[in-house]
Structure 1
């Protein structure tokens, strides 16, 4: 066989992008295979010699030099690239979160627990987080605060709430507890771990809000009689607000309700909308019937209760990425915007809600949900404006705070 530089590349008639190496003396395909004359077909063949000279050795040398220059200069490229990445500032503006923050609120004094895949707390935008506790229910490694998710789901949700660097989260001043209860795939199927995590948030951490960017379909390991449902109800009875994702099953015709535990009456179930305010097609629809009692759902507990931005949301990602940021879509993201808004409201009116005994009662929690329903953008209140996908409307944190003040006669 002749040396490689003496061979030729011949395109395949069925797909000219495929090249076959042939000896120059080989006749090759006849011209009719290409719809050409034999001489024109012959001219389609490329000698490998000039190509080899272009690639070796100088092509390889220049490629190696270029790669080294890119590696050396990457920190400077990263410093330039990160600030110009399209962020999701619009989401904080459109939900009224930035307007509430402009009054000096940051969530300070409010305790929040996120149950997820953990968090990469070494991220530069999370360095200032007030971490109240970390517990690993997946591998029982409580010494290393980390994110085990393949898609760093927990880190992204954490950033949406408490990031304070490249962008500012919804409530960067909260005291945050992180419960690692989901595995690498981010599945909520391990209901025992999720239930233990929720109880840890309630009993050990004594939080004000539990944020659950997770869920499962009834019967998929987290049914209406599951340990997770029991743990959520225990938290609600203790005066802890629970905010949960409605689910991303809107296009699955066999599923007729929001996810568990978002379908529990006292939970605030959150759907997702585009930047335009239109409901995201994958956002789960709520059923008119409460699966726990069989009765029709009534105001302010129709599902979902509210919707928030949840499409192409920018947030923190694993520090294994450069730059360490990513975008995601889903009701998980939407959930954190509502958690953040509620954190700001509890910083502002938490003591008024708790009253003299310092305890938020079931009536107080209904008051907050009623204020949420009445404050929702395009929501009409009393159930008249409820949509089984959008809820009572889109999140307006500033108006939600105003409605809470009205309910408390603080105006």
Structure 2
């Protein structure tokens, strides 16, 4: 079979050196077989290896090939649906547990970077940018909510404040979260994978899983081999395909697009983001952007439901970039790519267990960099018999999309159009 390489992105072009890992061949035994070498799988594997488990990771392509190596690189706290939504729908004890965990993923990332010396251009500071007074009011409520759950690194920005941090006239204010920030995501997951291997973990690339055979132990099959494992962790997210139809039925892959400019003059780069914050706006279909370590503007946005690859990513995203930063008219775009995330109807993650020993986490709904690191820890805890935090996630309801797999794309697109109109007219 042909070797699958990383997407042609800025991240792949600037990735730290990483070895090619051999495909699985023959039979092997392990304590835990992890399916997927992205943030969820590598995070779980690393936590387990630190606890003395023998871990084997099977990856269909390369480490970080999917969303973990293609995303906007922003460390954004909480979940795609915020804690207040969970408070309204979950039992008080469950909501309290999930609220306490909402800021843990960012802490885990910083701990990993420090402990293993991962070079991934970590920067502190993330801004939620409000385009309307209504959005700014919501950010003020969000500040109070997050402070109630222990985030004491928040500052509300008025129009003058945000103008000093973002060189755009679009915003009426914002919320600065200094516990947020940004990273080179592919280099982060590559560094975490190397850390896992340093503890005895084994990663097989180019090893797509073809089926999972339930049992004690479970047997995970690829085209050229099989792994017998006491436990299996399924962490394929938007790239899992139909390996487990019961998971695919309650989620939908969606694409998001990213472009990266040529390296900018230092003065120009500093005029865009003087404090080197990352930014996302507050629209339903939001834009997000930041500077790379070599002063390129990385700008993303848009959603394609059903994960279709647009014919011309630059044509979709450049107008958004220029609406925010018209001073970049004529700037060259060096990289443009798309990547998939997995959407759930509730926009909350789906966590659970199939049978006695097959665990999964999926459906970050575009909010995955921090959640996936938390999910890895929660999955590792569950395998060690500490299931309270796992159960808090597992008790969240998993809803099917209206219309089933056939109609989920048009129905979801109609819903998104409604929210886009609300954003456009400030409703």
TM-score, length basis structure 1: 0.26
Structure ranking higher in strand proportion: 2
Structure with higher Rg: it is 1
TM-score, length basis structure 2: 0.26
Higher relative contact order (CA 8 A, sep 6+): 2
